[in-house]
């Protein structure tokens, strides 16, 4: 197992450096290469079909948040009422990966969905004491938010019902969010900020799974033999003119 090999190498290196204080040869144990796999991405049509087969409004609202804002599943279930800023159309993500706070986009369609979900749990005419610290997606157990595993199960069931053969997880919706933004011409740095990536090369991998972005690039082969812009001389012609 690759993770085990990496842990074994790090443990051995620590043992030699700290316990007997013996120098660790640079190439004593070579690191294993970790295979890089492209993320699974749904097309816009597949995403639309997927949401039509989500079983309940509770799970539909949560999964739409994952896709509409590009959130991780752990960030979706941990959202609180006070994290919704409908004035600036933002979602506040508290202590995401790497213990970092950030803001994610709140689309008008997602806001409508979240309001519909909230009204379904708080019918008009009934009094409910709420606070900004209340969970947006509360769990069945009092005081707890929605369970991550239950949302993952609902996601897999919706994908099967929609006839999608790809391996779909809540994180697939986050991958699809980033890829679709890239295909629509959104700057890579903005996508990086929305996803909360610390390195832009992590975000850049979505260019590899975007057929639109790849197709938009013109091959240098197609430029061969084309006339050069007027007013410019090649270095060979310039040399002959000077001679």
Quick one: which H or E segment has residue 225? none
Active site residue 180: no
Active site residue 67: no
Question: What is the spatial distance between Cα 62 and Cα 60, in angstroms, rounded to a whole number?
Answer: 5
The residue extents of the domains of the chain are 44-121+132-213
Question: The tokens of 159 are what?
Answer: 């994908």
Helices 44-51, 148-161: inter-axial angle, 10-degree rounding: 110
Catalytic residue, from 53, 169, 197, 205: name it: 197
Q: Is the pLDDT of residue 210 over 60?
A: yes
Quick one: which H or E segment has residue 37? none
Is the pTM of the predicted complex or chain greater than 0.85? no
Chain centre distance of CA 207: 13
Active site residue 72: yes
Digit-coded pLDDT (tens) for 136-155 = 999 888 888 999 999 999 99
- Average pLDDT for the chain: 82
Q: Which of the four CATH numbers 1.10.10.10, 1.10.443.10, 2.20.25.240, 3.90.550.10 does domain 44-121+132-213 have?
A: 1.10.443.10
Active site residue 233: no
Digit-coded pLDDT (tens) for 233-242 = 445 555 555 5
């Amino acid at each position: 197992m690759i993770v085990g090999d990496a842990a074994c190498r790090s443990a051995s290196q620590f043992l030699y450096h700290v316990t007997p204080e013996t120098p660790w040869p640079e190439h004593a144990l070579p690191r294993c290469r970790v295979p890089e796999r492209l993320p699974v991405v749904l097309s816009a049509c597949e995403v639309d079909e997927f949401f039509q087969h989500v079983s309940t409004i509770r799970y539909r609202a949560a999964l739409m948040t994952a896709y509409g804002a590009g959130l991780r599943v752990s960030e979706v279930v941990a959202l609180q009422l006070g994290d919704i800023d409908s004035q600036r159309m933002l979602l506040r993500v508290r202590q995401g990966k790497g213990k970092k706070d950030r803001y994610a986009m709140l689309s008008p369609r997602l806001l409508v969905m979240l309001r519909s979900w909230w009204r379904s749990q708080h019918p008009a005419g009934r009094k409910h004491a709420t606070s900004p610290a209340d969970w947006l997606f509360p769990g069945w157990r009092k005081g707890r938010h929605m369970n991550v595993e239950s949302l993952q199960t609902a996601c897999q069931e919706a994908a099967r019902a929609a006839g999608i053969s790809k391996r779909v997880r809540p994180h697939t919706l986050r991958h699809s969010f980033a890829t679709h933004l890239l295909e629509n011409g959104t700057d890579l740095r903005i996508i990086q900020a929305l996803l909360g990536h610390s390195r832009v090369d992590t975000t850049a991998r979505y260019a590899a799974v975007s057929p639109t972005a790849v197709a938009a690039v013109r091959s240098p082969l197609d430029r061969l033999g084309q006339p050069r812009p007027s007013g410019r001389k090649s270095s060979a012609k310039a040399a002959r003119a000077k001679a």
